[in-house]
Amino acid sequence: MPEKEIAIIGGGPAGLMAAEVLSSAGHAVTVYEAMPTVGRKFLLAGKSGLNITHAEDFSEFRTRFGASSAMLKPALDAFTPDDVRDWAAGLGTETFVGSSNRVFPTTMKASPLLRAWLKRLEAQGVNILMRHRWTGFDDGELMIEALDRRFAVQADAILFALGGASWPKLGSDAAWTGWLADKGVEITTLRPANCGFDVQWSEIMRERFAGAPLKSITATSAAGTFSGEFVVSRHGIEGSLVYAHSAALRDGLEREGHAELVIDLMPGRQLERMAGDIARQDRRASFSTRLRKGAGIEGVKLALLREFVTPADFADPERLAGHIKALPIPLQRPRPIEEAISSAGGVSFDSIDTDYMLDMLPGTFVAGEMLDWEAPTGGYLLTACFATGRAAASGMLQWLEREGGRRR
């Protein structure tokens, strides 16, 4: 195939992965990136060690993408977690399997990997134009605004990798939703995923316990029961154990107007035994002393009980032990999407073909978090962004072979 001109809009993990595939096939690739540098969210992910993929059994891994797992299967089969690790190693970043099978670079950083990746892309002739923002369509053309000019993209094929709606200050501001919806593309409303929740705390909880971690607990929702930890914030609750439940809790709030996360504050203790231990404490001692000695409850765990347990239940060892083993925290709403780790919703799989091409815009492909899928934290997000970037690029190569390019 003769060399084609390809425009990729968005320089995050999905866009850069597509650029790698398309440039290695010999095409002239230009990446248009709104921000002064590419991969800002990728670099932020590196601040917490860059959980790049997950080493659980691949048959499990493939099911982590909710209702869209089946749609993502071909892309994930073609770029598996092992492939992610090989790819990173090829760029000089070795990885290791950490706790709960999460995979991290040995450096626990994103910047060396991104630097090596950009070097590779440069060597393959990829032209990255920073501060070049796509601002919508004009007479069917994609309009780009740079510091000193506004122009229409000239390309044989286009790939959007514009990201979701979380952390918009890093670039993915979801401005594209309206522009693509106007073209007849079906967009599922973007919603927070892997997010915290608001809880109506008392003044004492907010002032004295914001920032306090709840460790060695389990939490139950419609998603199941998981162990881990989370943090009390001024607004509510945040952290990995909450994120693991966040899709189920968010959907529950949307569907029924209420949702609660049920906490076992002492997963290692048996209810009856703990009730007996509490009852045996000296009645003249304070509540807090009796709870500390009888159940090992103190600090933020005690504060949480005080928040939701009535004085009558506090005075009854059996009922109190019941609350320690299953304390429902009523949630008001998810924290705003701007604070979420990722977003759910986006371009519907009904609007693209199996090659990730938009039905309404032939020659225009979509990849990454802007597609309508979601996954928990654990390296699933980046893996699916890489995998869909590659799948959309492969789809584009086949389409170019077949059709020759967009009409210009």
Ligand X SMILES: Cc1cc2nc3c(=O)[nH]c(=O)nc-3n(C[C@H](O)[C@H](O)[C@H](O)COP(=O)(O)OP(=O)(O)OC[C@H]3O[C@@H](n4cnc5c(N)ncnc54)[C@H](O)[C@@H]3O)c2cc1C
Task: Give me the residues that bind ligand X (CB under 6 A), please.
Answer: 9-15, 32-35, 38, 40-42, 44-45, 48, 50-51, 133-134, 161-163, 166-167, 171-172, 175-176, 341-342, 368-369, 379, 381-382, 385
Decide whether 15 or 252 has the Cβ nearer to ligand X: 15
333-334: strand order across its sheet: 327-331, 259-264, 213-221, 224-232, 236-238, 197-198, 333-334
Decide whether 174 or 329 has the Cβ nearer to ligand X: 174
Decide whether 109 or 306 has the Cβ nearer to ligand X: 109
Decide whether 37 or 216 has the Cβ nearer to ligand X: 37
Beta carbon of residue 73, minimum distance to ligand X (angstroms, whole number): 18
CA distances to 63, 86, 281, 295 from 384, in Å: 12, 16, 54, 44
Task: Count other Cβ atoms within 10 Å, centred on residue 86.
Answer: 12
Decide whether 113 or 278 has the Cβ nearer to ligand X: 113
* Separation of alpha carbons 370 and 13, rounded Å: 12
Beta carbon of residue 58, minimum distance to ligand X (angstroms, whole number): 16
Decide whether 264 or 372 has the Cβ nearer to ligand X: 372
Decide whether 368 or 395 has the Cβ nearer to ligand X: 368
Beta carbon of residue 118, minimum distance to ligand X (angstroms, whole number): 13
CA distances to 137, 144, 347, 361 from 140, in Å: 6, 13, 19, 10
Decide whether 23 or 51 has the Cβ nearer to ligand X: 51
Beta carbon of residue 164, minimum distance to ligand X (angstroms, whole number): 6
Beta carbon of residue 152, minimum distance to ligand X (angstroms, whole number): 14
Beta carbon of residue 167, minimum distance to ligand X (angstroms, whole number): 4
* Separation of alpha carbons 91 and 95, rounded Å: 11
Written as one letter, the residue type at 4 is K
Residue 99 burial (10 A CB sphere; 0-12, 13-18, 19+): exposed
Written as one letter, the residue type at 31 is V
For residue 371, the SS3 value is strand
Alpha carbon 117 to chain centroid distance? Answer: 22
Please name the residue that has the structure tokens 């799948």.
Answer: 391
Sequence-ordered alpha helix ranges (H) in 27-109:
40-47, 58-61, 69-78, 81-90
Beta carbon of residue 291, minimum distance to ligand X (angstroms, whole number): 36
Beta carbon of residue 82, minimum distance to ligand X (angstroms, whole number): 16
CA distances to 46, 235, 284, 287 from 291, in Å: 41, 27, 13, 6
Decide whether 53 or 221 has the Cβ nearer to ligand X: 53
CA-closest candidate to residue 134, choices 155, 156, 153, 157: 153
Provide, for the chain, the percentages of residues in helix, strand and coil under a 3-state DSSP scheme, each rounded to the nearest 5. 40, 25, 35
Beta carbon of residue 24, minimum distance to ligand X (angstroms, whole number): 18
Beta carbon of residue 9, minimum distance to ligand X (angstroms, whole number): 5
Decide whether 35 or 261 has the Cβ nearer to ligand X: 35
CA-closest candidate to residue 161, choices 388, 395, 349: 388
* Separation of alpha carbons 374 and 368, rounded Å: 11
Please name the residue that has the structure tokens 């083993």.
Answer: 325
